Amino acid sequence: MDYSGRQRRLSAQLVSRQQVSRQVDALLVTHLPNVRYLTGFTGSAAVLLASAKPLFFTDGRYREQAAQQVRGAKVVIPRGSALSAAVKACQAQRITRLGVEADRMSVSQFQALRRELGKGVKIVPLVGVVEALRAVKEPGEVKLIRQAVELSSSLFPALVKALKPGQTELSAAARLEYLARHSGAEGMSFETIIAAGSRSALPHGLASPARLPRRGFVVLDYGVVNQGYCSDMTRTVHLGRATARERAVYAAVLEAQLAGINALRPGATCGQVDEAARRVLRRAELAKFFTHSTGHGVGLEIHEPPRLGAKGEAVLQAGMVVTVEPGAYLPGRFGVRIEDMVLVTATGAEVLTPVDKALMELL
């Protein structure tokens, strides 16, 4: 990855922001996925001062790892806190306007920073600057995402094959996660959701000690991490024969998902994609059971911009990778969700997840 190139693009952004009041000399990057994006560092404690003379601060635990990994910035292991060291560097570099990641800095950190910096430096709270760069993936990133998607998809047949009435959701998750690790995943990209029977009506039904019923839907929502990049997929299968009502809901969710994918193209707004999916469920009188947004960006984080939500005004660009994942959750009865990862291309969209979406009944 071209870390210096990313830092150059960031610097160009910082000095040329539309609102003059948002222009800064440097950005104090405190959100770890952003630090990783800009330097390659994968550890759990670091701050980057993205300036003309970029400095990377971490602690003694990461001395060796930082020396091996960090590109495009000088590594500093300060005696005191990383924030205090960054303050001294701002003064040494004569920075007068310092941007901070307002979504990713605590009130405590902000107060300490203001106190230590004194009046000579103006702190400018900014939101989503690095995230905006990250939203459009480079070819090397798309490659790693494809690998993550393919890895998780390759596990799906074994996951489904092992679903048996009486088995716990947790043991199915344990097996899936073991296979994922053995296939080379660094880990799961979020806590595995396996929600069967009436639990399928919980949009976030983490795998539990509940046992799979003889019949009913099972929502399977999981992903893996490959060299830092996440995948995310959901399929809903049915144990035994589905009823006519279950089939109808499944068909509506699938149609909504295809409509969402179909609306994905450069120039479309996030809200338009959400509406394309939501409209299908509204016609099927299921809109009130679709209680979340249609999708989200995926990359170094499992949830990152853009967010495909109602009224979302952000405009899609080629190179963005998003999920499309409408669902319908009938409280106390059952739920269905279908989710792919999709790459926005120059002309439309490419579905990355190669797993069939026809209703699967396990008999």
Q: Which residues bind its own copies (CB under 8 A)?
A: 43-44, 59-65, 100, 102-108, 110-111, 125, 127, 170-171, 173-175, 177-178, 181-182, 184, 186-187, 191, 201-204, 209, 291-292, 331-332
Closer to its own copies at the Cβ: 61 or 241? 61
In angstroms, give the least distance from the CB of 358 to its own copies. Answer: 26
> Of 233, 236, 231, 202, which Cα lies nearest the Cα of 217?
236
In angstroms, give the least distance from the CB of 88 to its own copies. Answer: 21
In angstroms, give the least distance from the CB of 300 to its own copies. Answer: 15
Closer to its own copies at the Cβ: 186 or 255? 186
Gap between the Cα atoms of 107 and 121, Å rounded: 18
For β-strands 216-222 and 233-239, DSSP reports them as antiparallel
CA distances from 258 to 236, 278, 324, 341, 363 (A): 15, 11, 9, 12, 27
Closer to its own copies at the Cβ: 129 or 349? 129
Amino acid (1-letter code) at residue 271: G
Closer to its own copies at the Cβ: 22 or 265? 22
> Of 79, 86, 78, which Cα lies nearest the Cα of 109?
86
Closer to its own copies at the Cβ: 59 or 350? 59
- The tokens for 341 are 């990862």
Beta bridge partners of 27: 50, 99
Gap between the Cα atoms of 102 and 307, Å rounded: 18
Closer to its own copies at the Cβ: 179 or 318? 179
Gap between the Cα atoms of 14 and 126, Å rounded: 10
In angstroms, give the least distance from the CB of 37 to its own copies. Answer: 19
CB 267: neighbour CB atoms within 10 A?
10
In angstroms, give the least distance from the CB of 214 to its own copies. Answer: 23
In angstroms, give the least distance from the CB of 115 to its own copies. Answer: 12
- The tokens for 328 are 């319908």
